Amino acid sequence: MEARAKPDCARRKSEKEPGHTKHKRTRSGCYTCRSRRVKCDEGHPTCERCTKGGRKCVYPDLSTASRKKSIHGIPIEVSESSTDEDDHGEDMEPCALDAIADEDEPVESTVESENVSKSSYYHASSSQSTGSRLGSTRQASETPSLVQDKGASPTPSTEGSVGYFQYQTLGTSHPKGLKPQSEMQQPYDWSHLPQDLQFYLSYFYDHITFLHYSLKYDSGNFLKTKYIETALHNDALLYALVGFSAFQHTLHNLQGKIQDFLKYYNKAVTLLLNSLKRGDRRTDGTILAILQLATIEEFLGDWINLLGHQKAAYQILLELYTPRTVMHSQTSRIILAWYCRFDAFAGLMAGFETVISREWFWGAEQHLQNQIAQDPTNLDWKIEHSFAKMRRIANDMSTVFAKLAKGEINQEQFMSENDNVGRMIASWKNELDPALLDGRYLAMDYPNARILEPGHPFDPYIPGSIFNGPLWAMNNAIIDWHSIDLMHRYKTALMLGTQPGEDISRMAIESCQLYEAIEFYHESPPGTVIALQTSLSIACLFMPRDERYAMWARRKLATIESHGYIYPHAFRTKMSDLFRDRSCMQWWLPNDEGYPPIIRSIRKFWKNGKLQQLMCQQKIFEI
């Protein structure tokens, strides 16, 4: 089987129209212009485009020796100064890519939108390639427009994008696992893919972090490396990943439409279903595709399909791993953490204990403890262990409450086991490794601090309130700990028929204070508000019934939902009652302030039942 990238690009070269001037691709332009796919004038130390746009200009090191690289497992030699898109060789015409124009300059090379929307997703013979076995799918023109604009869908572009992706690259103290894009190079070649898939893969690589998945920690940069590699070899995962990337891009495109991402989601569901029906061997790619689809469904508020995919993921997890073997690779550890999050989420939604048994949580914790013993200076193992221990405690808490609700233990047994859970929650914070509380990494300075409005209930700029650099992930861990403690105290009072203690309101304020500090920090990475949304939602339930706090909470919830996380009807109803304002059922802020059109469109179609019809409703979990 042979890859199609080179022959296909070579054919385009030979079929050029007479008189067409070949554009010689430079290998010495800056990385910024390369990533934006515009011509670089190669000015030093900063090129003209980067100077004009106020962008960071980074050039490759042309003196570095050649290095080994591979495409789908085939080793090749490439120059360190070349990028993945140059891997076709000097004598081959590179596959065309979209150019992104500056505001005051013409586009030098473009691909017409109909070439994307009317072409098949893969070349007809790409089913024989090593990396993919996809066939063609429906043309984009067959998907009806879901908004008032009935025009053709444009080629994906960052023009008109708004939102939180205006993110400055981090300095030497960047959060662990989140390196500046200037220090990262696209690790795999996907130039053999159709133009739209290339675009969204690049967008995913450049803009999406593990925090968008609420994974909290990714020490090995899994999403930007192994995850993409797995997707290039698994059709369903590729389309699911592209669907999530397209969703994120659509949120920040003023002309974005539901169909821009939904077609990829539906394609992924179809491919996954067909694979399962054929009895294809289940792999990491299979379960990752299911988890990625469940992530999209969580964002869209599709709880029925999400719970079904959580069930399917559990079945495949049992097929592939045991509590012992699941800890043997970074990929499987991410899969376990990702699944456990959905398992806990499903239990919270349905009010029952987690599906996965305690031995999985305990096995993960013990494995990481052993790794620390072997390498006591490794900070990554210690951070991962802190999260694993917290997941085990949360599992124990849900199990105790579920046993009482099902009548499996009496009141006296519940009190004993629940007191033990309370002690474990307290011990998590008290027994943290000193290396995870290193004062050298406390944030003391706040450049470009925002001016807060009078009456703002929290000060996000208190020196020493959060960690930066390699301990950034501990902010996520500590705010999660606050949430577990809050839920434990509240549910205990609920089970015993008593009123929660007065300290629960104080704890909620502490949690919100921490959330504010993390969100406002100048090095807070993309996806932060999504990663912290569960903790914020829990804290908001117990805040003082004061107008200042209520409006603060409503603004935070509006920010999170504008990032694409559609809150379920039950939560919106609960918060509307707490805020004593039913207008929150429509939108969190008065007069629809900050209500993005794409979010309005998604919620409208969901309310009318049309989104469910447009999303594949095939029951993967029944296969």
SS3 542: coil
Structure-model confidence comparison of residues 114 and 498, the more confident one: 498
Structure-model confidence comparison of residues 473 and 25, the more confident one: 473
Lowest model confidence (mean pLDDT) among 31-40, 114-123, 129-138, 533-542 = 114-123
Overall average pLDDT of the 338-349 stretch: 78
Secondary structure of 344-406 as H, E, C letters: HHHHHHHCCCCCCCHHHHHHHHHHHHHHHHHCCCCHHHHHHHHHHHHHHHHHHHHHHHHHHHC
Domains of the chain, residue spans? 25-110, 111-160+186-206+222-356
Residue 620's pLDDT band, with cuts at 50, 70 and 90, is low
Residue 348's pLDDT band, with cuts at 50, 70 and 90, is low
Structure-model confidence comparison of residues 19 and 374, the more confident one: 374
pLDDT tops 90 at residue 145: no
Overall average pLDDT of the 75-80 stretch: 32
Overall average pLDDT of the 521-548 stretch: 93
pLDDT at 619: 57
DSSP 507: H
Q: What percent of the chain has pLDDT over 90?
A: 55
Residue 71's pLDDT band, with cuts at 50, 70 and 90, is very low
pLDDT tops 80 at residue 214: yes
> How many CB atoms sit inside 10 A of residue 507's CB?
18
231 Cβ partners below 8 Å, 6+ apart? Answer: 237, 238, 241, 285, 288
- List residues bridging with 161 in a β-sheet: 253
pLDDT tops 60 at residue 564: yes
Overall average pLDDT of the 336-346 stretch: 86
Structure-model confidence comparison of residues 409 and 144, the more confident one: 409
How buried is residue 125: exposed, middle or buried, by Cβ count under 10 Å (0-12/13-18/19+)?
exposed
pLDDT tops 90 at residue 244: yes
How buried is residue 598: exposed, middle or buried, by Cβ count under 10 Å (0-12/13-18/19+)?
buried
Lowest model confidence (mean pLDDT) among 18-32, 243-257, 263-277, 387-401 = 18-32
pLDDT at 6: 40
pLDDT at 251: 93
Residue 424's pLDDT band, with cuts at 50, 70 and 90, is very high
Residue 187's pLDDT band, with cuts at 50, 70 and 90, is low
pLDDT tops 70 at residue 111: no
Residue 610's pLDDT band, with cuts at 50, 70 and 90, is low
- List residues bridging with 69 in a β-sheet: 76
pLDDT tops 50 at residue 205: yes
pLDDT tops 90 at residue 11: no
- List residues bridging with 4 in a β-sheet: none
The answer to whether 366 and 265 are in contact (CB under 8 A) is no
Residue 359's pLDDT band, with cuts at 50, 70 and 90, is very high
Residue 15's pLDDT band, with cuts at 50, 70 and 90, is very low
Overall average pLDDT of the 454-471 stretch: 94
Lowest model confidence (mean pLDDT) among 135-149, 243-257, 525-539, 567-581 = 135-149
Smallest Cα–Cα separation from 617: which of 293, 180, 351?
293
Structure-model confidence comparison of residues 195 and 216, the more confident one: 195
